[in-house]
Amino acid sequence: MIVRGGGQFISSIRSIDLRFVDDLVDFVRGPGFVLDFSDTSFADFFALELKVNIDDPKYAANGGSKGKRLRYFLQNCDDATAVSALTALWEYRSDYLARSGGKDPVIDAQSRYQGLINRLSSGAAPKPTQLQPVVDRQKIATIKAELLRVSSLSAQARGFAFEGFLKGLFDAFGLAAQEPFRLCGEQIDGSFELGNDTYLLEAKWHSAPTPAADLHILNGKLNSRPTWSRALFISYGGFGPDGLEAFNRGKSSLICMDGYDLYETLSRELPLDRVITRKARHAVETGLIQVSVRDLFP
C-alpha cells in the first residue's frame, strides 16, 4: 500500500494491473465501458456492494466514462477496498459469462485475477481473499425444478416440501439459513444471514393472497427483537392490497417476496442475495415493502 502526502492511503495496484482489469471488463461493449453496466446499474452496483457513490465528480477526475471512473477509484482507495471492489466485479463478471453462455475471452483470467487479489490482500489483511464461486447453474436448474414439483403437490404435502425447497434455496446462495423452520400448517419460520444483517424468515404457500393480519404477526415478532433486525415474508400466493397498504411507507424493516419473484429469480439466474438486497434498498428509498423482481431487474 502506498501513502500519499498527508497520510492518505491509496492502493498498490499497478498500471499493468489496470490494463488487465480493462481487458476483464471492456470485452462486452468496448473501451470505456464496464461489462454490461448502464450508468444506473453501475451506480447501483457501487452503492450496494461498496457503499460508494461512483457518480461523485471526484471519480471523474480523469474522465467520466465508467471505465475511467473505475480506474480512478481503484487507484485512490486502500488495498482492502480495492480487493472488495475487484472481488465483487469478478463475481458479477462470472455471473454474466454464465448467463450469456460465452467463453472467457481473457486467457488464464481466473489465475491471473486471483494472483492480483492475493497480492493486494497480502498488504490489506492477514489472509488472502478467495474468489467466491458462481452458483452452479445445474444446481439452480434443480432448485427451479423442485419449485415446479412443489407447486403440483396437494395442499397438505406442499408445506413440508416447501420447507425443503427454501432450505436448499438459501443454502445454495450461502445465506446460512438457520433451523428450525418450525412448521405449522403451511407456514415456515426461520432466519438467515445476508452481509451483516440477520433476517427473520416467514413463508406461506397458500393459493390466496396473504392478508394483513399475517404481516402484522411477523412485524410483531420483528418489533420484539433488536432494532437492527430485519424480516422477509415469502408468500407464494402474493399479498392482499390491504396488507401492503398498511405497511407501505410505515416504520418497519419488513420486505416481501411472492411466488412470481421466486420463479423470476431462478429462471433468470439472478443471485438471491442481490435480489433481497435490492428489495431492501428499494424499501428504504420508497417505503414500499413489495416490488416485483421484474421491476427491480428489468
249 in the same domain as 156: yes
169-191 pLDDT, tens digit per residue, is 888 888 877 765 444 444 456 78
* Residue where one domain finishes, among candidates 96, 122, 148: 122
14 in the same domain as 45: yes
Position with higher pLDDT, 49 vs 60: 60
Mean pLDDT over each residue of the chain, to the nearest integer? 82
CATH number for the domain harbouring residue 181: 3.40.1350
151 in the same domain as 72: no
65 in the same domain as 26: yes
Position with higher pLDDT, 133 vs 32: 32
180 in the same domain as 51: no
115-148 pLDDT, tens digit per residue, is 898 888 875 443 433 434 445 677 788 888 888 8
Residue 132 lies in a domain: no
pLDDT higher than 90, residue 24? yes
Residue 127 lies in a domain: no
Smallest CA-to-CA distance from 80 within 115, 14, 124, 127 is with: 124
276 in the same domain as 196: yes
161 in the same domain as 113: no
Domain holding 208, by residue range, is: 137-296
Please tell me the predicted confidence (pLDDT) of residue 58.
Answer: 93
Q: What is the pTM of this model?
A: 0.53
Angle at 31 between CA 93 and CA 37, to 5 degrees: 40
Domains held by the chain: number: 2
283 in the same domain as 143: yes
